[in-house]
Structure 1
Amino acid sequence: MSSIDHIKAHTYHGRKGPVENAFRYAIDYVLIDMNAQASWPRLFSRNRFNLWSLYDADHGGAPKQGRGLSWAENILRAEDLPGLERILLLAQPRMLGHVFNPVSFWLCFDAQDDLRVVIAEVSNTFGQRHSYLCHRDDFAAIGPSDEIGAQKIFHVSPFQPTQGDYRFRFDIRAERIGISIEYLRKGGGLIATLVGPRQPLSSKSILSAFLRRPLGSRRVLALIHWQATKLWWRKATFRPCPEAPQSDFSR
Protein backbone atom coordinates (compact mmCIF):
# COMPACT_ATOMS: atom_id res chain seq x y z
CA MET A 1 0.00 0.00 0.00
CA SER A 2 1.39 3.38 -1.02
CA SER A 3 2.12 5.96 1.69
CA ILE A 4 0.72 8.62 -0.64
CA ASP A 5 -1.81 8.30 -3.46
CA HIS A 6 -2.91 10.65 -6.19
CA ILE A 7 -6.69 10.99 -6.61
CA LYS A 8 -7.63 12.24 -10.06
CA ALA A 9 -11.09 13.18 -8.91
CA HIS A 10 -14.24 14.89 -10.09
CA THR A 11 -16.39 16.98 -7.81
CA TYR A 12 -20.08 17.72 -8.36
CA HIS A 13 -22.27 20.32 -6.62
CA GLY A 14 -25.99 20.45 -7.15
CA ARG A 15 -28.06 23.17 -5.48
CA LYS A 16 -31.73 22.55 -4.66
CA GLY A 17 -34.55 25.03 -4.09
CA PRO A 18 -36.02 28.02 -5.92
CA VAL A 19 -32.65 28.97 -7.47
CA GLU A 20 -31.11 25.75 -8.77
CA ASN A 21 -27.52 25.48 -9.92
CA ALA A 22 -25.14 22.61 -10.68
CA PHE A 23 -21.54 22.21 -11.80
CA ARG A 24 -18.91 19.49 -12.13
CA TYR A 25 -15.17 19.81 -12.59
CA ALA A 26 -11.94 17.81 -12.33
CA ILE A 27 -9.72 18.24 -9.28
CA ASP A 28 -6.56 16.67 -7.84
CA TYR A 29 -6.23 15.34 -4.29
CA VAL A 30 -3.56 13.45 -2.43
CA LEU A 31 -4.24 10.77 0.17
CA ILE A 32 -1.27 10.68 2.54
CA ASP A 33 -0.35 8.52 5.52
CA MET A 34 0.53 11.21 8.03
CA ASN A 35 2.80 8.89 10.05
CA ALA A 36 4.78 7.60 7.09
CA GLN A 37 8.50 8.27 6.91
CA ALA A 38 8.61 8.00 3.15
CA SER A 39 10.79 8.89 0.23
CA TRP A 40 8.50 11.17 -1.72
CA PRO A 41 8.44 11.63 -5.51
CA ARG A 42 10.93 14.27 -6.65
CA LEU A 43 8.18 16.81 -7.46
CA PHE A 44 6.41 16.45 -4.07
CA SER A 45 7.55 17.66 -0.65
CA ARG A 46 6.12 17.79 2.83
CA ASN A 47 6.55 21.08 4.69
CA ARG A 48 8.79 22.65 2.06
CA PHE A 49 8.30 24.28 -1.33
CA ASN A 50 7.94 22.16 -4.47
CA LEU A 51 5.73 21.87 -7.53
CA TRP A 52 3.33 19.99 -5.24
CA SER A 53 3.61 20.06 -1.47
CA LEU A 54 1.62 19.48 1.68
CA TYR A 55 2.21 21.57 4.81
CA ASP A 56 1.05 20.43 8.23
CA ALA A 57 0.22 24.07 9.05
CA ASP A 58 -2.52 23.98 6.37
CA HIS A 59 -4.55 21.41 8.33
CA GLY A 60 -5.76 20.74 11.86
CA GLY A 61 -6.80 24.06 13.37
CA ALA A 62 -7.15 27.59 12.07
CA PRO A 63 -6.08 28.14 8.44
CA LYS A 64 -2.28 28.62 8.13
CA GLN A 65 -1.97 27.88 11.86
CA GLY A 66 -2.75 24.19 11.81
CA ARG A 67 -1.15 21.55 14.02
CA GLY A 68 -1.47 18.72 11.53
CA LEU A 69 -1.66 15.14 12.76
CA SER A 70 -1.37 16.00 16.47
CA TRP A 71 -4.61 18.02 16.21
CA ALA A 72 -6.54 15.04 14.85
CA GLU A 73 -5.02 12.72 17.45
CA ASN A 74 -6.00 15.12 20.25
CA ILE A 75 -9.61 15.15 19.05
CA LEU A 76 -9.78 11.36 18.96
CA ARG A 77 -8.24 11.18 22.44
CA ALA A 78 -10.60 13.81 23.86
CA GLU A 79 -13.62 12.01 22.40
CA ASP A 80 -12.39 8.66 23.78
CA LEU A 81 -12.37 7.00 20.36
CA PRO A 82 -10.03 4.03 20.88
CA GLY A 83 -8.25 1.50 18.73
CA LEU A 84 -7.30 3.70 15.77
CA GLU A 85 -3.99 2.70 14.22
CA ARG A 86 -3.66 4.75 11.03
CA ILE A 87 -4.71 8.27 9.99
CA LEU A 88 -4.73 9.37 6.36
CA LEU A 89 -5.32 12.92 5.15
CA LEU A 90 -7.27 13.47 1.93
CA ALA A 91 -6.56 17.00 0.73
CA GLN A 92 -5.63 19.14 -2.22
CA PRO A 93 -1.87 19.77 -2.30
CA ARG A 94 -0.23 23.13 -2.62
CA MET A 95 0.74 23.87 -6.20
CA LEU A 96 3.79 26.15 -6.39
CA GLY A 97 3.03 27.23 -2.83
CA HIS A 98 -0.70 28.02 -3.14
CA VAL A 99 -3.65 26.01 -1.87
CA PHE A 100 -7.29 26.39 -0.89
CA ASN A 101 -9.16 23.35 0.41
CA PRO A 102 -12.93 23.83 0.67
CA VAL A 103 -13.01 20.45 2.41
CA SER A 104 -10.35 17.96 3.49
CA PHE A 105 -10.86 14.67 5.28
CA TRP A 106 -8.96 12.93 8.07
CA LEU A 107 -9.63 9.20 7.55
CA CYS A 108 -9.03 7.12 10.69
CA PHE A 109 -8.62 3.33 10.47
CA ASP A 110 -8.37 0.54 13.03
CA ALA A 111 -5.84 -2.32 13.12
CA GLN A 112 -7.96 -4.32 10.66
CA ASP A 113 -7.84 -1.36 8.25
CA ASP A 114 -11.54 -0.63 8.70
CA LEU A 115 -12.61 3.02 8.51
CA ARG A 116 -14.00 4.01 11.91
CA VAL A 117 -13.86 7.82 12.10
CA VAL A 118 -13.71 10.69 9.62
CA ILE A 119 -13.03 14.32 10.47
CA ALA A 120 -14.39 16.55 7.68
CA GLU A 121 -12.38 19.79 7.75
CA VAL A 122 -14.40 22.57 6.09
CA SER A 123 -12.94 25.96 5.12
CA ASN A 124 -14.73 28.96 3.67
CA THR A 125 -13.42 31.82 1.53
CA PHE A 126 -13.64 34.20 4.52
CA GLY A 127 -10.60 32.66 6.25
CA GLN A 128 -12.58 30.51 8.68
CA ARG A 129 -12.60 26.76 9.36
CA HIS A 130 -14.69 24.22 11.25
CA SER A 131 -14.61 20.42 11.33
CA TYR A 132 -17.29 17.75 11.71
CA LEU A 133 -16.52 14.53 13.58
CA CYS A 134 -18.19 11.61 11.79
CA HIS A 135 -18.62 8.06 13.08
CA ARG A 136 -21.39 5.54 13.58
CA ASP A 137 -23.23 5.67 16.90
CA ASP A 138 -22.00 2.15 17.70
CA PHE A 139 -18.45 2.99 16.49
CA ALA A 140 -18.62 0.11 14.01
CA ALA A 141 -16.76 0.22 10.69
CA ILE A 142 -18.12 2.83 8.27
CA GLY A 143 -19.39 1.21 5.07
CA PRO A 144 -20.49 2.71 1.74
CA SER A 145 -24.18 2.46 2.69
CA ASP A 146 -23.80 4.16 6.08
CA GLU A 147 -25.21 7.67 6.39
CA ILE A 148 -23.70 9.79 9.14
CA GLY A 149 -25.49 12.93 10.25
CA ALA A 150 -24.20 16.22 11.65
CA GLN A 151 -25.83 19.56 12.43
CA LYS A 152 -24.54 22.34 10.23
CA ILE A 153 -23.21 25.20 12.37
CA PHE A 154 -20.56 26.74 10.09
CA HIS A 155 -21.02 29.34 7.36
CA VAL A 156 -19.79 28.06 4.00
CA SER A 157 -21.62 29.90 1.23
CA PRO A 158 -23.25 33.34 1.48
CA PHE A 159 -26.09 31.87 -0.59
CA GLN A 160 -26.97 29.19 1.97
CA PRO A 161 -28.03 29.64 5.63
CA THR A 162 -25.96 28.28 8.50
CA GLN A 163 -28.88 26.20 9.77
CA GLY A 164 -29.64 22.70 8.56
CA ASP A 165 -28.18 19.21 8.62
CA TYR A 166 -25.49 17.26 6.79
CA ARG A 167 -25.60 13.63 5.69
CA PHE A 168 -22.15 12.17 4.98
CA ARG A 169 -21.35 8.98 3.07
CA PHE A 170 -17.86 7.50 2.73
CA ASP A 171 -16.86 4.79 0.27
CA ILE A 172 -13.10 4.41 0.73
CA ARG A 173 -11.53 1.50 -1.16
CA ALA A 174 -8.03 0.43 -2.16
CA GLU A 175 -8.73 1.39 -5.76
CA ARG A 176 -10.95 4.47 -5.44
CA ILE A 177 -12.58 6.99 -3.10
CA GLY A 178 -16.17 8.17 -3.13
CA ILE A 179 -17.55 10.77 -0.73
CA SER A 180 -20.91 12.50 -0.76
CA ILE A 181 -22.23 15.29 1.47
CA GLU A 182 -25.90 16.17 1.37
CA TYR A 183 -27.00 19.43 2.95
CA LEU A 184 -30.63 19.38 4.04
CA ARG A 185 -32.66 22.44 4.91
CA LYS A 186 -36.23 23.59 4.58
CA GLY A 187 -36.87 24.80 1.04
CA GLY A 188 -33.46 23.95 -0.36
CA GLY A 189 -30.07 22.38 0.24
CA LEU A 190 -27.48 20.79 -1.99
CA ILE A 191 -25.55 17.62 -2.77
CA ALA A 192 -21.75 17.56 -3.17
CA THR A 193 -19.63 14.59 -4.23
CA LEU A 194 -15.94 13.78 -4.61
CA VAL A 195 -15.13 10.65 -6.62
CA GLY A 196 -11.96 9.33 -8.21
CA PRO A 197 -9.52 6.44 -8.61
CA ARG A 198 -6.45 5.97 -6.41
CA GLN A 199 -2.97 5.47 -7.77
CA PRO A 200 0.48 5.87 -6.19
CA LEU A 201 1.67 9.46 -6.48
CA SER A 202 4.58 9.90 -8.88
CA SER A 203 6.45 12.81 -10.42
CA LYS A 204 4.94 11.80 -13.74
CA SER A 205 1.37 12.06 -12.41
CA ILE A 206 2.18 15.41 -10.74
CA LEU A 207 3.61 16.83 -13.94
CA SER A 208 0.64 15.53 -15.95
CA ALA A 209 -1.80 17.20 -13.51
CA PHE A 210 0.17 20.44 -13.63
CA LEU A 211 0.02 20.51 -17.43
CA ARG A 212 -3.72 19.82 -17.40
CA ARG A 213 -4.56 22.29 -14.62
CA PRO A 214 -1.58 24.64 -14.13
CA LEU A 215 -3.54 27.05 -11.91
CA GLY A 216 -4.26 24.39 -9.27
CA SER A 217 -6.35 25.68 -6.36
CA ARG A 218 -6.39 29.19 -7.87
CA ARG A 219 -8.67 27.64 -10.46
CA VAL A 220 -10.84 26.22 -7.66
CA LEU A 221 -11.19 29.66 -6.08
CA ALA A 222 -12.01 31.21 -9.45
CA LEU A 223 -14.71 28.60 -10.06
CA ILE A 224 -16.19 29.20 -6.59
CA HIS A 225 -16.43 32.94 -7.25
CA TRP A 226 -17.83 32.35 -10.73
CA GLN A 227 -20.63 30.18 -9.32
CA ALA A 228 -21.29 32.82 -6.64
CA THR A 229 -21.55 35.49 -9.36
CA LYS A 230 -24.14 33.39 -11.20
CA LEU A 231 -26.20 32.95 -8.04
CA TRP A 232 -26.01 36.69 -7.28
CA TRP A 233 -27.10 37.49 -10.84
CA ARG A 234 -30.07 35.13 -10.44
CA LYS A 235 -30.99 36.95 -7.21
CA ALA A 236 -30.33 34.13 -4.75
CA THR A 237 -30.58 35.35 -1.14
CA PHE A 238 -27.23 36.70 0.10
CA ARG A 239 -26.24 36.24 3.76
CA PRO A 240 -23.26 37.97 5.43
CA CYS A 241 -20.62 35.84 7.11
CA PRO A 242 -21.12 35.43 10.88
CA GLU A 243 -18.36 34.67 13.38
CA ALA A 244 -17.04 31.13 13.22
CA PRO A 245 -17.97 28.64 16.00
CA GLN A 246 -15.67 28.84 19.01
CA SER A 247 -14.93 25.13 18.98
CA ASP A 248 -12.67 23.60 16.30
CA PHE A 249 -15.11 20.77 15.71
CA SER A 250 -18.59 19.44 16.33
CA ARG A 251 -20.61 16.29 15.69
Structure 2
Amino acid sequence: MTIEPHALYQGELGHQRLLPKRHGFAYPLHYFWLNASSLPSLGRSWLLKYEGFAAFSYRRNDYLPGAACLKQAVCDKIRQLGGDQPVTEVYLLSPLANWGHYFSPLTLYYGFDAEQQLRYLLAEVSNTPWNERHHYLIPVSANGRYQHDKDFHVSPFNPIAMQYHWQIEPPGETLVCSISNHQQQQKVFSAWMRLQRQPLSAKVLRRMLIRSPWPNVLVKIRIYWHALKLLIKGNPVYAHSKKGSVYDDVTD
Protein backbone atom coordinates (compact mmCIF):
# COMPACT_ATOMS: atom_id res chain seq x y z
CA MET A 1 0.00 0.00 0.00
CA THR A 2 1.36 3.43 -0.99
CA ILE A 3 0.67 6.11 1.59
CA GLU A 4 0.50 9.78 0.61
CA PRO A 5 2.76 12.12 2.61
CA HIS A 6 -0.06 14.31 3.95
CA ALA A 7 -3.86 14.14 3.95
CA LEU A 8 -6.92 15.03 5.94
CA TYR A 9 -9.30 12.49 7.47
CA GLN A 10 -12.88 13.62 8.04
CA GLY A 11 -15.84 11.73 9.44
CA GLU A 12 -17.43 10.92 12.77
CA LEU A 13 -16.35 10.57 16.38
CA GLY A 14 -18.73 8.67 18.64
CA HIS A 15 -18.98 7.76 22.33
CA GLN A 16 -21.43 5.35 23.94
CA ARG A 17 -21.64 4.81 27.69
CA LEU A 18 -23.57 1.66 28.63
CA LEU A 19 -23.27 1.57 32.44
CA PRO A 20 -24.27 2.70 34.99
CA LYS A 21 -26.41 5.21 33.04
CA ARG A 22 -26.60 5.20 29.26
CA HIS A 23 -25.26 8.23 27.43
CA GLY A 24 -23.95 8.68 23.91
CA PHE A 25 -23.16 11.17 21.17
CA ALA A 26 -21.59 11.49 17.72
CA TYR A 27 -19.97 14.57 16.19
CA PRO A 28 -18.15 15.50 12.98
CA LEU A 29 -14.39 15.12 13.28
CA HIS A 30 -11.36 16.07 11.21
CA TYR A 31 -7.81 14.90 11.91
CA PHE A 32 -4.65 15.76 10.00
CA TRP A 33 -2.61 12.84 8.65
CA LEU A 34 1.03 13.97 8.40
CA ASN A 35 4.23 12.19 7.51
CA ALA A 36 6.62 12.92 10.38
CA SER A 37 9.55 12.93 7.91
CA SER A 38 7.98 15.64 5.73
CA LEU A 39 6.52 18.12 8.19
CA PRO A 40 8.35 21.22 6.82
CA SER A 41 6.58 20.64 3.48
CA LEU A 42 3.32 21.85 5.07
CA GLY A 43 4.39 25.33 3.99
CA ARG A 44 3.78 28.78 5.44
CA SER A 45 0.40 30.03 4.25
CA TRP A 46 -2.25 31.69 6.45
CA LEU A 47 -4.28 28.47 6.19
CA LEU A 48 -1.62 25.90 7.04
CA LYS A 49 1.81 26.56 8.46
CA TYR A 50 4.81 24.68 9.76
CA GLU A 51 5.91 26.16 13.12
CA GLY A 52 3.95 29.40 13.17
CA PHE A 53 0.59 31.11 13.65
CA ALA A 54 -2.12 30.21 11.13
CA ALA A 55 -5.63 28.85 10.86
CA PHE A 56 -3.97 25.45 11.32
CA SER A 57 -0.34 24.99 12.28
CA TYR A 58 2.00 22.18 13.25
CA ARG A 59 4.16 23.05 16.26
CA ARG A 60 6.68 20.53 17.56
CA ASN A 61 6.07 21.49 21.21
CA ASP A 62 2.43 20.38 20.99
CA TYR A 63 3.39 16.74 20.61
CA LEU A 64 5.37 13.90 22.14
CA PRO A 65 8.27 15.22 24.28
CA GLY A 66 11.75 14.04 23.40
CA ALA A 67 13.99 14.46 20.38
CA ALA A 68 13.70 17.60 18.27
CA CYS A 69 12.63 15.38 15.35
CA LEU A 70 9.10 14.06 15.97
CA LYS A 71 9.80 10.82 14.08
CA GLN A 72 12.83 10.11 16.29
CA ALA A 73 10.84 10.92 19.44
CA VAL A 74 8.13 8.44 18.40
CA CYS A 75 10.66 5.71 17.58
CA ASP A 76 12.38 6.31 20.94
CA LYS A 77 9.06 6.04 22.80
CA ILE A 78 8.13 2.84 20.95
CA ARG A 79 11.42 1.25 22.04
CA GLN A 80 11.02 2.58 25.59
CA LEU A 81 7.59 0.92 25.84
CA GLY A 82 8.91 -2.43 24.61
CA GLY A 83 8.52 -2.29 20.83
CA ASP A 84 11.13 -4.46 19.12
CA GLN A 85 9.95 -4.31 15.49
CA PRO A 86 11.73 -1.86 13.14
CA VAL A 87 9.82 1.33 12.32
CA THR A 88 10.92 3.27 9.24
CA GLU A 89 7.98 5.65 8.74
CA VAL A 90 5.84 7.49 11.28
CA TYR A 91 2.54 9.22 10.56
CA LEU A 92 0.82 11.64 12.91
CA LEU A 93 -2.99 11.59 13.21
CA SER A 94 -4.04 14.60 15.23
CA PRO A 95 -5.65 18.01 15.33
CA LEU A 96 -3.31 20.92 14.70
CA ALA A 97 -3.09 24.20 16.58
CA ASN A 98 -6.06 26.31 15.46
CA TRP A 99 -5.41 30.08 15.49
CA GLY A 100 -2.66 29.40 18.02
CA HIS A 101 -4.71 27.13 20.31
CA TYR A 102 -3.87 23.42 20.49
CA PHE A 103 -6.04 20.82 22.18
CA SER A 104 -6.16 17.07 21.56
CA PRO A 105 -7.68 14.45 23.89
CA LEU A 106 -6.16 11.73 21.69
CA THR A 107 -3.22 11.90 19.29
CA LEU A 108 -2.16 8.78 17.39
CA TYR A 109 1.22 7.91 15.88
CA TYR A 110 1.23 5.13 13.28
CA GLY A 111 4.52 3.25 12.90
CA PHE A 112 5.19 1.44 9.60
CA ASP A 113 8.02 -0.90 8.61
CA ALA A 114 10.05 -0.80 5.38
CA GLU A 115 7.29 -2.74 3.54
CA GLN A 116 4.72 -0.13 4.66
CA GLN A 117 3.06 -2.61 6.98
CA LEU A 118 1.54 -1.08 10.10
CA ARG A 119 3.43 -2.40 13.14
CA TYR A 120 2.55 -0.11 16.02
CA LEU A 121 0.02 2.42 17.13
CA LEU A 122 1.34 4.81 19.79
CA ALA A 123 -1.57 6.51 21.55
CA GLU A 124 -0.91 9.84 23.28
CA VAL A 125 -3.78 10.40 25.71
CA SER A 126 -4.38 13.66 27.56
CA ASN A 127 -6.86 14.44 30.31
CA THR A 128 -8.98 17.51 30.97
CA PRO A 129 -8.53 19.77 32.90
CA TRP A 130 -5.31 18.38 34.42
CA ASN A 131 -3.30 18.70 31.18
CA GLU A 132 -1.37 15.46 31.73
CA ARG A 133 -0.26 13.01 29.05
CA HIS A 134 0.22 9.28 28.98
CA HIS A 135 1.31 6.91 26.22
CA TYR A 136 0.11 3.43 25.34
CA LEU A 137 1.88 1.24 22.79
CA ILE A 138 -0.42 -1.04 20.79
CA PRO A 139 1.26 -3.72 18.64
CA VAL A 140 -0.88 -4.18 15.53
CA SER A 141 -1.75 -7.83 14.93
CA ALA A 142 -3.37 -9.48 11.92
CA ASN A 143 -6.85 -9.13 13.42
CA GLY A 144 -6.18 -5.60 14.70
CA ARG A 145 -7.18 -6.43 18.27
CA TYR A 146 -5.27 -5.64 21.43
CA GLN A 147 -6.17 -5.29 25.09
CA HIS A 148 -4.36 -3.98 28.15
CA ASP A 149 -5.00 -2.55 31.61
CA LYS A 150 -5.88 1.11 32.00
CA ASP A 151 -3.35 3.02 34.10
CA PHE A 152 -4.09 6.69 33.45
CA HIS A 153 -6.94 8.81 34.82
CA VAL A 154 -8.82 10.40 31.92
CA SER A 155 -12.52 10.86 32.59
CA PRO A 156 -13.74 11.42 36.17
CA PHE A 157 -16.68 9.19 35.21
CA ASN A 158 -14.47 6.12 34.65
CA PRO A 159 -12.35 4.40 37.35
CA ILE A 160 -8.76 3.30 36.84
CA ALA A 161 -9.65 -0.37 37.40
CA MET A 162 -10.64 -1.05 33.80
CA GLN A 163 -9.26 -2.75 30.72
CA TYR A 164 -8.99 -1.24 27.24
CA HIS A 165 -9.90 -3.27 24.15
CA TRP A 166 -8.65 -1.78 20.86
CA GLN A 167 -9.74 -2.51 17.30
CA ILE A 168 -7.36 -1.02 14.73
CA GLU A 169 -7.44 -1.12 10.93
CA PRO A 170 -4.53 -0.01 8.73
CA PRO A 171 -5.47 3.39 7.30
CA GLY A 172 -6.31 3.77 3.63
CA GLU A 173 -9.19 5.52 1.96
CA THR A 174 -10.98 4.95 5.26
CA LEU A 175 -9.59 5.04 8.77
CA VAL A 176 -11.35 3.18 11.58
CA CYS A 177 -10.17 3.00 15.17
CA SER A 178 -12.22 1.99 18.20
CA ILE A 179 -11.67 1.36 21.88
CA SER A 180 -13.94 -0.07 24.55
CA ASN A 181 -13.64 -0.02 28.34
CA HIS A 182 -14.34 -3.22 30.26
CA GLN A 183 -14.97 -3.79 33.96
CA GLN A 184 -14.98 -7.37 35.23
CA GLN A 185 -15.21 -8.59 31.62
CA GLN A 186 -18.27 -6.43 30.94
CA LYS A 187 -18.19 -3.62 28.37
CA VAL A 188 -19.23 -0.32 29.95
CA PHE A 189 -18.05 2.27 27.43
CA SER A 190 -16.93 2.51 23.80
CA ALA A 191 -15.51 5.22 21.54
CA TRP A 192 -14.75 5.17 17.83
CA MET A 193 -13.54 7.16 14.83
CA ARG A 194 -14.81 6.44 11.32
CA LEU A 195 -13.05 8.71 8.85
CA GLN A 196 -12.62 9.19 5.11
CA ARG A 197 -9.43 10.43 3.47
CA GLN A 198 -9.55 13.87 1.85
CA PRO A 199 -6.82 15.80 0.04
CA LEU A 200 -5.00 18.32 2.19
CA SER A 201 -5.78 21.28 -0.04
CA ALA A 202 -6.56 24.97 0.45
CA LYS A 203 -10.08 24.40 -0.86
CA VAL A 204 -10.80 21.67 1.71
CA LEU A 205 -9.30 23.71 4.56
CA ARG A 206 -11.32 26.82 3.67
CA ARG A 207 -14.52 24.76 3.58
CA MET A 208 -13.64 23.25 6.95
CA LEU A 209 -13.06 26.68 8.50
CA ILE A 210 -16.41 27.97 7.25
CA ARG A 211 -18.17 25.05 8.94
CA SER A 212 -16.16 25.25 12.17
CA PRO A 213 -13.79 28.22 12.63
CA TRP A 214 -12.58 27.13 16.11
CA PRO A 215 -12.73 23.31 16.24
CA ASN A 216 -10.32 22.92 19.18
CA VAL A 217 -12.39 25.25 21.34
CA LEU A 218 -15.55 23.44 20.29
CA VAL A 219 -14.11 20.10 21.46
CA LYS A 220 -13.49 21.54 24.93
CA ILE A 221 -17.00 22.94 25.13
CA ARG A 222 -18.46 19.55 24.19
CA ILE A 223 -16.37 17.77 26.85
CA TYR A 224 -17.71 19.97 29.65
CA TRP A 225 -21.25 19.94 28.25
CA HIS A 226 -21.40 16.14 28.30
CA ALA A 227 -19.75 16.04 31.73
CA LEU A 228 -22.63 18.18 32.99
CA LYS A 229 -25.13 15.79 31.40
CA LEU A 230 -23.47 12.81 33.08
CA LEU A 231 -23.64 14.56 36.45
CA ILE A 232 -27.32 15.33 35.95
CA LYS A 233 -27.97 11.69 35.06
CA GLY A 234 -26.34 10.62 38.32
CA ASN A 235 -23.24 8.84 37.02
CA PRO A 236 -20.69 8.33 39.81
CA VAL A 237 -17.54 10.48 39.89
CA TYR A 238 -14.12 8.93 40.57
CA ALA A 239 -11.46 11.10 42.20
CA HIS A 240 -8.21 11.82 40.38
CA SER A 241 -5.34 10.10 42.17
CA LYS A 242 -1.84 9.34 40.93
CA LYS A 243 -1.41 6.66 43.59
CA GLY A 244 -1.00 3.30 41.89
CA SER A 245 -1.00 4.86 38.42
CA VAL A 246 1.73 5.35 35.87
CA TYR A 247 2.18 8.92 34.57
CA ASP A 248 5.06 8.87 32.12
CA ASP A 249 4.76 12.44 30.80
CA VAL A 250 3.27 15.39 32.65
CA THR A 251 3.01 18.79 31.03
CA ASP A 252 2.85 22.09 32.89
Q: What TM-score do you get using the length of structure 1 for normalisation?
A: 0.88
Query: Equivalent residue for 1:120?
Result: 123
Work out whether residues 180 and 187 of structure 2, in 8 Å CA contact, stay in contact via their aligned partners in 1. no
Q: Is the 8 A contact 2:7 2:197 kept in 1?
A: yes
Aligned residue number for residue 229 of structure 2: 230
Preserved CA contact (<8 Å) 1:51 1:95: yes
The farther-off stretch of 208-217 and 168-177 is 168-177
2:159 corresponds to 1:161:
yes
Distance 2:152 2:207 in 1: 35
C-alpha contact (below 8 Å) 2:153/2:160 kept by paired residues: yes
Shift of 1:67: 7.3
Aligned partner of 1:184 in structure 2 is 182
Residue matched to 2:139:
135
3-state DSSP class of the match of 2:122? Answer: strand
Question: 1:44-74 CA deviation, whole Å, 9 max, x = no partner?
Answer: 1122111111212111149xx9973332121
Q: Does 147-156 or 236-245 show the bigger shift? A: 236-245
Matched, 1:39 2:41: yes
| Percentage of matched positions with identical amino acids | 25
1-side partners of 2:246 and 2:171: how far apart? 33
Q: Alpha-carbon deviations, 1:174-210, whole Å to 9, x = none?
A: 2111000111114662110011111221111111111
Preserved CA contact (<8 Å) 1:45 1:52: yes
Does structure 2 conserve the Cα–Cα contact (< 8 Å) formed by 1:148 and 1:168?
Answer: yes
Answer yes or no: is 1:85 the counterpart of 2:83: no
Matched AA of 1:22: G
- Secondary structure at the counterpart of residue 27 of structure 2: strand
Q: Counterparts of 2:4 and 2:180 in 1: how far apart (Å)? A: 30
Match of 1:75 in 2: 77
Give the CA deviation at 1:38: 5.2
User: What's 1:25 paired with?
Assistant: 27
Contact 2:132/2:249, CA 8 A, preserved across alignment: no
| TM-score normalised per structure 2 | 0.88
Gaps of 5+ in 2: none
SS of 1:163's equivalent in the other structure is: coil
Trace 1:203-222 onto structure 2 (pairs within 5 A): 203-222=202-221
Q: Which residue of 2 aligns with 1:139?
A: none
Does residue 102 (structure 1) correspond to residue 105 (structure 2)? The answer is yes
| CA offsets 1:74-99 (integer angstroms, 9 cap, x no match) | 12333352321100010011111112
1:33 Cα deviation from its structure 2 partner: 0.4
**What SS does the corresponding residue of 1:160 show, helix, strand or coil?**
coil
Deviates further, 73-82 or 200-209: 73-82
Q: CA RMSD in A?
A: 2.2
Paired AA for residue 246 in structure 2: P
* SS of match in other structure, 1:84: coil
Pair 67,124 (structure 1): closer, same or farther in 2 beyond 3 Å: farther
TM-superposed deviation, 1:238: 1.1
Distance 1:55 1:121, change over 3 A: same
Residue type at the aligned position of 2:173: E
| Secondary structure of the structure 2 residue equivalent to 1:94 | coil
Where 2:41 maps in the other structure, the secondary structure is coil
The answer as to 2:11 corresponding to 1:2 is no
Aligned partners of 2:27 and 2:102: how far apart in 1? 17
Match of 1:50 among 45, 51, 54: 54
CA contact (8 A) 2:120 2:139 kept: yes
